[in-house]
Structure 1
Amino acid sequence: MTDRPLLLVTRRMPPAVTERLQRDYRARLNETDEVYDSDRLVAQAEGCEAILCCSSEKFSAEVIARLPESVRALATFSVGYEHIDTTAAKARGIRVTNTPDVLTDSTADIAFLCLLGAARRAWEGESMLRAGEWVGWSTTQLLGVHVTGKRLGIFGMGRIGRAVARRARGFDMEVHYHNRRRLPADQEEGATYQADADALLGICDFVSLNFPASPETENFLNAERIAKLPDGAVVVNSARGTVIDDDALIAALKSGKLAAAGLDVYRGEPRLDPRYRELPNAFLLPHMGSATVETRDAMGFKCLDNLDALFAGREPPDALV
């Protein structure tokens, strides 16, 4: 059917998403799954009515200005949209949608995996076993940080932050949070609101960073703020790499100011700061927050639900602009 809209799909999609794509649209697929640079994005978009993109592609104002006139929408396979200049898109009449809600639980699971893995020195233990270096149990081997009953400070109490708070209650943690504004009591998940971010840092045994990337959150966790944390605290980041000053965090991990860090996201990923790889007290994952079959399928289907609505003349349910 030649009347089906033509979509550019910038990355390889899960099989179930690809099947629906090819059923309902004419799809220009990225069979090699390479990351397109700006010139390739513009060239591949020729004749397309929409682009199903990912956070790996950068739609700056310059790129958006160069997109073919045929492009009506950018459906991003992500909840974050800092890779898209939404102001430029709006000025050109290009709709932008994202995928909220469906990756909340899987990302919160990874945040808690990072918390536990960092606190209990999981990477060091697994490495010891795989290298054949474990010679048996001892009373002082790989002593970590106790989690149950400790204070957790959540910075950014959106959907994922609230889901982290729910998981923390299962470990009898005392949960506090900082947000741009206090949530209604029925959304606080039993957590205590702290209006002053720096004051909250001073009582945190664990820190979970869960706010989006923005100019305001750039390098939020810097040397000055790390100094406010209690000695031996653990830092977890499942949000975006830009919210941490890498130099400051690495220095604190090396000095022992911080006991450990659990990281799933990095500045400039996949080219993370190589010094992290040298730190035994850094528990590192490769941006796995939404990496379950169920979640990635749901993200793809949300992209298509938004495009289906757009091409049917309805308002996309997850429209940003």
Structure 2
Amino acid sequence: MKPKIYITRKLPDIVVDRLREVCEVSMWEEEEKPVTREVLELEIRKVDGLLCTVSDTIDESLMNEASHLKIISNMAVGYNNIDINAASEKGIMVTNTPGVLTETTADLTFALLMATARRLIESSDYLRDGKWKSWYPMQLTGQDINGSTLGIIGMGRIGEALVKRAKGFDMKVLYSNRSRKLKVEEELGIEYVDKETLLQQSDFVCVLVPLTPETKNIIDKEELALMKSSSVLINTARGGVVNEKALYDALSSNKIWAAGLDVFEQEPVPTDHPLLTLPNVVAIPHIGSSSIPTRLRMAQLAATNLMDGVLGEIPKYLVK
């Protein structure tokens, strides 16, 4: 008998067909709407494996509904949507999809930095709204990227990839991290500093840490107060690592110049969120890894992890 699995989001046929070769597959068929909690509670009782995404909350009460669940395969690098401790206590494996989205997310991070610095969205809206009546010297002026200082908080795979892009713009790169990376410093020509120094000296601050109890609100009122009034904050990590109220206050009072945000504490972010009212915020809907090749690689890796788990193998990308 084939092991049973449930997929919480509609995936491409090439991925699902591969899973059907070895598993009995059920899948949520809605393209844009997430699976409901009620359906998930019913389905998890029947299956040996669950393939989920970062938008699915897999908590202890949900796991309590599972009688023979062996693995939760998360189609993401981060896994803050899953109660890891509860899974460990119940003997349920949890996997993620690192590596395959590094370059794509670094591309998006730098694109967001550029769009925010040069006010691209604001300028496009200015044109489309019929406000472009003439040219004048200080019209929609932004911040220079070339030759500026980039500070990266969290020097993992994506941080290292971002450095390579920054070097093409002759940026000086500072970083702070839980541990110093001497080899990376030597290879990439970057400088390790404490977080306070990074915030004080950087023209652009990119946050690239996973969301954990230790990194919750790692950028708060005190950190924002250290930044230059001309500085730009970029967050492509998780919404919870930045205190959104403190960020709104800093932006609306011009204590920092602008912010580019791919992630929010609540997703989808409410359209009446205060940050979305500010012209100096570039906001996009969590598309860091959103390229066709990368999303396919993520889905295939999540499928591989899942198949290994339900077939009695130890998946390569085991979180816990």
Q: Which bin holds the TM-score, normalised by the shorter protein?
A: over 0.9
Structure 2 residues not aligned, in runs of 5+: none
What is the match of residue 277 of structure 1? 276
**Structure 1 Cα separation of the partners of residues 302 and 124 of structure 2:** 38
Q: Is the 8 A contact 2:8 2:53 kept in 1?
A: yes
Aligned to 2:64: 65
1:1-321 pair list within 5 angstroms: 3-33=1-31, 34-67=33-66, 69-186=67-184, 189-194=188-193, 196-272=194-270, 274-321=273-320
- One-letter identity of the residue aligned with 2:291: T
> TM-score, structure 2 length as denominator?
0.94
Q: How far has the Cα of 1:37 moved from its partner?
A: 4.3
Separation in 2, partners of 1:313, 1:46: 19
Q: Quote the offset at 1:149 in angstroms.
A: 0.6
CA–CA distance in structure 2, aligned partners of residues 135 and 4 of structure 1: 66
Q: Distance in 1 between matches of 2:225 and 2:259?
A: 15
How far does residue 190 in structure 1 lie from its aligned partner after superposition?
Answer: 1.8
SS in 1 for 2:107: helix
The 8 Å contact of residues 28 and 35 in structure 2, kept in 1 or not, is answered as no
Q: How far apart are the structure 2 equivalents of 1:52 and 1:262?
A: 30
1:193-246: CA deviation from partner (whole Å, max 9, x where unpaired): 11x211221111110000000111111111111111112110000000001111
The whole-number CA distance in structure 2 between the counterparts of 1:29 and 1:130 is 41
Shift in Å at residue 249 of structure 1?
A: 0.8
Work out the CA distance in 1 between the residues paired with 2:180 and 2:215: 18
The number of residues matched between the two structures is 317
The separation in 2 between residues aligned to 1:197 and 1:32, in whole angstroms, is 43
* Displacement after TM superposition at 1:86 (Å): 1.3
Identity value in percent: 38
Q: Equivalent residue of 1:75, what SS? A: strand
Task: Provide the C-alpha distance between the structure 2 equivalents of 1:156 and 1:14, rounded to a whole number of angstroms.
Answer: 32
Greater alpha carbon shift after TM alignment, 310-319 vs 293-302: 310-319
Unaligned runs of 5+ in 1: none
- Asked whether the 8 Å contact 1:198–1:228 carries over to 2, the reply is yes
Whether contact under 8 Å (1:14, 1:296) holds in the other structure is no
* 1:110-157 deviation per Cα after TM superposition (whole angstroms, max 9, x unaligned): 111111111000111111222233224332211000011111100000
| 1:278 CA drift (Å) | 1.2
Work out the CA distance in 2 between the residues paired with 1:308 and 1:58. Answer: 21
Q: Distance in 2 between matches of 1:83 and 1:226?
A: 27
Q: What is the TM-score when the length of structure 1 is the normalising length?
A: 0.94
CA distance in 1, matches of 2:280, 2:247: 11
Q: Which amino acid aligns with 1:278?
A: T
CA RMSD of aligned residues (A): 1.6
